[in-house]
Amino acid sequence: MQTAAQLIEKLGIENVDPQKQDEILQDLANSVSNRILLGISEKLSDEDLKEVSALLDSDKEEEAESLLAAKIDDFEGFKAQIEQETIDEIANNIRAVSDQAEATQNESLRP
């Protein structure tokens, strides 16, 4: 996992208000979590998903993590890949929006 400072730099939001940076980083963390959950649901059977859910409902997070690691090859790598893909996608989207806004602004400044 990258540090907050590394993520802020990668996302190009160094000059954004710190409170807004925190909001963006929280949204990023939520996106990563949601995508990991989606990936897990695609890889596990319904029975395995019920078992993981029951463990989590019983506050047995370590057991749930162990089950996921047993059911999903290279679970840590799986999570890291989703995290990196999500970060890259969001960074690219931010750059694209920024570039488009700059182009629009430059066009409006032309006589």
- Going by the DSSP 8-state scheme, the letter that residue 87 receives in this structure is H
Closest C-alpha to 87, from 16, 8, 17: 8
- Give the contacts of 12 (CB within 8 A, at least 6 positions apart): 91, 94, 95, 98
pLDDT confidence band for 111 (50 / 70 / 90): low
In the predicted model, what is the mean pLDDT of residues 97-103? 83
**102: pLDDT strictly greater than 70:** yes
Q: What is the predicted pLDDT for the residue at 107?
A: 74
**61: pLDDT strictly greater than 90:** yes
**In whole angstroms, what separates CA 92 from the centre of its chain?**
13
Q: Please provide the average confidence, as pLDDT, over all residues in the chain.
A: 91
Are the CB atoms for 32 and 82 separated by under 8 Å?
yes
pLDDT in tens, 26-45: 999 999 999 999 999 999 99
